[in-house]
Amino acid sequence: MNAYISALLFFALSMTVTAAPAAGGYEVGDKATDFTLKNVDGSMVSMADYGDAKGFIVIFTCNHCPYSVAYEDRIIDLDNMYRPLGYPVIAVNPNDPDVQPEDSFDKMIERAEEKEFPFPYLFDDGQKIYPQYGATRTPHVYVLEKEQGDLIVRYIGAIDNNYGDADAADEKYVADAVDALLAGSRPEVSSTKAIGCSIKKKK
């Protein structure tokens, strides 16, 4: 682990990291809404654009949060692994840039280029989407399955059980959930507590 990540994780240890689902957010089994948001390449992206997808790994994340930074490579790995199998990652930045300037759209473009994100990185302009989903943290994951034209929530929560060390994570919640769906079954673990920074709401 490089010094930059170590410093970020040290900072993160002082933060409150768990949260219950937001009031009005989705629960496992609910139908999720599609959305159309601006990508870092300037295009508008929605899940309806993915005609061949079997589902989606929707991750609310951001630039500045040490937890999000710690998970970036794992998010890239998830997309590389599951996009060809029908479950692409769609990343959404829910933070208000007036509250956290490091999460501005211009900074999103810089971060996506720096990390060479293979997935869309969308800006929740006006913070309209994350409350619908009930996201409270970055990162916060929603695994959706396409079922008869609907998007059904099959998993909500954390990516795995060790944000600080990918190699030490022995419960890979998102990967296990998608593997189960690809095998025609339901995830054994369908909900965990998201671990990360609080979403920065407009004042």
Give the domain CATH number at 96: 3.40.30.10
Does residue 140 lie within any of the structural domains?
yes
C-alpha span between 164 and 174 (Å, rounded):
16
Question: What confidence tier does 5 reach under pLDDT thresholds 50, 70, 90?
Answer: very low
Instruction: Tell me the pLDDT tens digit for each residue of 31-58.
Output: 999 999 999 999 999 999 999 999 999 9
Domain count, the chain: 1
CB atoms under 10 Å from CB of 149, counted, come to 6
At residue 182, the pLDDT reads: 98
Question: What confidence tier does 203 reach under pLDDT thresholds 50, 70, 90?
Answer: confident
What's the mean per-residue pLDDT of the chain? 90
CB atoms under 10 Å from CB of 134, counted, come to 22
C-alpha span between 196 and 100 (Å, rounded):
15
Q: What global pTM score does this model have?
A: 0.89
Alpha-carbon 70 to chain mean position: 13
Does residue 128 lie within any of the structural domains?
yes
> Can you give the residue range of the structural domain that contains 21?
3-198
C-alpha span between 76 and 126 (Å, rounded):
26
Q: Residue 156 corresponds to which amino acid?
A: I
Does residue 203 lie within any of the structural domains?
no
Residues of the chain above pLDDT 70, percent = 88
